[in-house]
Amino acid sequence: MTEREKVFARLEELGVSYEVTEHPAVFTIGEMDALGLTAKGEVCKNLFLRDAKGRRHFLVVVPGEARADLRALAEQLESSKLSFASAERLEKHLGLKQGEVTPLGVLNDADAAVEVVFDRGLERFPRLGVHPNDNTATVWLSLADILRVVEENGNEIRWVTL
């Protein structure tokens, strides 16, 4: 079973309704915009971060055009200085590669060790687009359903305002 099939199976198991848009591999919001994907809903920007000692890992989900001030984010999360986690850490904690970061990556976090952080700005969008652990498709679903997937996996959810 592919990574994306595992995601779809879990969404169906949870009774989550979703729509899928297939597309060439994309690595940035700009590439998604060029394909017209951002016209279908708000595409989320996802950042995988670590604290200064590498003890805490954060998956930060923000609206596509948002700028994430890492200093302000660290303050709100009561964390030491934040930086982008390495490709090795991303693979180890979420089973993903660069360009595939998504809140659905928690389905690969068996220990629920990654803290998932949502920007309150996402609450205003009825439909969000995220990758299904594969950057050749976008899954469209509600914020409530994304939160449900994360909660069901046992990951801590944090809220910030950026």
pLDDT (tens, 9 = 90+) of the chain, 162 residues, equals 899 999 999 999 999 999 999 999 999 888 999 999 888 899 999 999 999 999 999 999 999 989 989 999 999 999 999 999 999 999 999 999 999 999 999 999 999 999 999 999 999 999 999 999 999 999 999 999 999 999 999 999 999 998
What angle separates helix 143-153 from helix 3-13, to the nearest 10 degrees?
100
CATH at 74: 3.90.960.10
Look at the chain and report how many structural domains it folds into.
1
Q: What pLDDT does 39 receive?
A: 86
- pLDDT for res 155: 98
pLDDT of residue 37: 87
pLDDT of residue 46: 96
| pLDDT for position 56 | 98
- Helix, coil or strand: residue 48: strand
Among 73, 140, 74, 67, which residue's Cα sits nearest to residue 102?
140
Q: Write out the residue range of the structural domain in which residue 71 sits.
A: 3-160
- Does the pTM surpass 0.85? The reply is yes
